[in-house]
Every structure is written in structure tokens, then in C-alpha cells.
Chains A and B, each alone.
Chain A
Amino acid sequence: MERSISDKDITDYVLNELGPRERLYVESMMLGCDESRSDVVSLMEVSRLLEDGLECELFTADLQLDAVRRGDIFAYSPSQVWESVWRAASAAVALAACVAFSIAAPVISKVAFRGEASKSQLARQLGIDDFSDVVDPAAFPVAMFEMDDSIQGGAGDEFPTHVLLPTGAVNLGEMPVPYLGSDVN
């Protein structure tokens, strides 16, 4: 079904607000319609009269800023430039202060590197190079045993010489032997 043009289409055409394809369509529809063409002519006349009339309004003598207001506009400008400069400088100073604080504060550095210091101490105790999975030595749940190759057991067993407790390495030989009862040889 062929679309006919609406009043708005004609106004859009007069005001040159149609795309090329739409414009072509409207023009083709107007070819056979005297009413549409006279509509266009009358709206073009209104458009020209409006432009003339509203342009005349701009020539009204009072329609301008007075000298005081005009002066205030241009006197306003310098503070705005310095304001932006001060704002940028303040932001830079604040950022530098944050960086300096994070580097120099001993509490922060101790908290940040405590784990590493403890790890290196434990690694030295046990002769272990890789201790990266230990996050907090104080929370290390399992006691580790260090084997002494010089001790010879009855059936070739190896006995640990040290046990590693959270508080540090302890020599097993120095630990008190628990009483296991008179039946144990």
C-alpha cells in the first residue's frame, strides 16, 4: 500500500530536514497533487516572514550587555586559570605524600615484609630453599622432622633428630621421653 505524505512530511520538506531518499519520495508525491504544492508555497512564505521578523528583533538597541557585565565576564577569567593550576598542583602534592608515606612508614613495611623475614629464618633452620607456600610461620600446623643420616636403627629405620615447632626447631634428644608403661621394653 503506497504511503501518502503527511502535513509533517511537507513541513520537513520545506525546512529541508528530509534525507535524500525521503525528499525524492515527497517530491514525487507532490507532482500530481496541487494541494500539496500550494501547501509548500504557503509554508515557504511563512518561513521567510518568520526569518525576516525574528532577524529584526536582533536589531533592537537595548539588546546587548551593559559595560559593567561585559567587564565582569573578562575580569572573571584569570582566577579560573590559576584555580586549575592550583588544583593540579594540590593533586600532585597529595599523590607524592601518599607514595612517600607508604615507603617510609615502618609499620607498613614491617607488615608487608614480616612473612619474608620469617620464611628466610625457617629456611636457614631446615636448609630448605623453597618455602614459598608458608604464609604465616606462626600458623604452621604440622611439625616437620629433620632426618639424621648418622643414626642407624635396627631395621634400617631413620630417626628424626629435630622437630620443627611453630616456635622453632627443637632437638629431639633433648625432649623429655614420655612414660609408656612398664610393659614396654
Chain B
Amino acid sequence: MFGSKQKKKTEWVQTAMLRYEKPLLQYSYSIVRDLERARDVVQDTFMRLFKQEQEAIEGHLSQWLFTVCRNCSLKVLRSQERYVHVESSEFEGRSSDEPSPSFELERKERVSRLMELVQELTPNQREVVRLRFQNFHSYQEISDITGLSVGNVGFILNAAMRSLRDKMERDDREEKIIYLTKTA
């Protein structure tokens, strides 16, 4: 009886790891800014998952994982009281072997530029943006994970998205000016 229950639980955790290992690592990394510590946090998160009953978490596994991961990351951060500088090369996207049309190249450049601008957001904004656009959590789920009110989550996302858009538009205008100046 215990053997089959154990096997079922192991399979459940393995499935969760396949789905959430990378997003949790990325999320934790964005908080602790150290890959090894992020790995420790995610390991701790999945070990805690083993202690839980599957039925108790079913239906809100993602929220549970991200909440525990966040709490563990903040605990590490508090004990460290420092940030580790991140090399931008660690965030290089997957390279394509196929030749890219100019439109696709331009889009990739815009994506790359946007990701640099994301690093300039406040920690709160970065966290909420990541939970929304990388892990597709709703306002309510983000509120449950971070402890912020639903209204506050909306406010932070609104401010973050408009800030990113305004900066990109400003960069576009400056590029045009530079281009026009060179060709003149």
C-alpha cells in the first residue's frame, strides 16, 4: 500500500519538475541573482512538495510552487544581504540555425532591447512582469504568490508595461535621429 502511494507521489513530483523546474529556477534566479543559490532554492521547493499531500495542492500547484519558491528565495536573500551581478550572456536566447529574414531579425533585436529594459524596472515590477508574462499567472494568482493586493498587482503591471513601452519608443526616436543625422 505504501509502496504504490510512494510511487504515485514520485511520479507526481517528477511531472511537476518537468513542467516547473526551469520557470522556478528563472524566477528564483531573478530574486537571488546567483545560479547556485537558485538551484538550492528550487531543490528545497521540490523537497517540500514531497511532504505535501497531492490532493491538498491539486488545482493550485503552480501558485503553491511559486509561493514557496519566492519565500525560500527571499529567505536566502535576507541571509545573504547582497546581490550578485548577472552577466547578460546568461540570458542569451536559443539560436536558430535557419537564416532569419530581416523582419525576424528586427523583432529579435527589439526583444533583446526590451529584456535589457526589464532589468531597469524596480524589483517589484520585475517580479510581477515575470510571473505574468513568463508563467502566465493571473492577477489573483500573482496576488496569492506575492502577498500584494489584486489592485496593486494591476497597478504595478500597468506602470511596468507603460514604462517599457515609453522607453522603447524613446529609443526608437533616438535611433531615427541618429540614422537621419548619419545619412544627412
Contacts and interface: CB of A to CB of B under 8 A. Distances in A.
Q: Which of A45, A51, A63 has the most CB of B within 10 A?
A: A63
Contacts of B130: 54
A152 interface: no
A53 interface: yes
A153 interface: no
A42 interface: yes
Contact of A50 (B43, B133, B155): B133
Nearest to B46: A73
B68 interface: no
B42 interface: yes
A42 B165 contact: yes
| Interface size class of chain B, counting residues whose CB lies under 8 Å from the partner chain | 35 or more
| Interface size class of chain A, counting residues whose CB lies under 8 Å from the partner chain | 35 or more
A11 B134 contact: no
Interface of B is mostly: helix
B50 A62 contact: no
Interface of A is mostly: helix
Nearest to A79: B50
Nearest to B52: A80
Interface string A93-109: 00000000000000000
Interface stretch (A64-72, A110-118, A159-167): A64-72
Given A51-B133, A53-B115, A46 B92 contact: no
Interface of A: 7-8, 11-12, 14-15, 17, 42-43, 45-47, 49-60, 62-66, 69-70, 72-74, 76-78, 80-81, 85
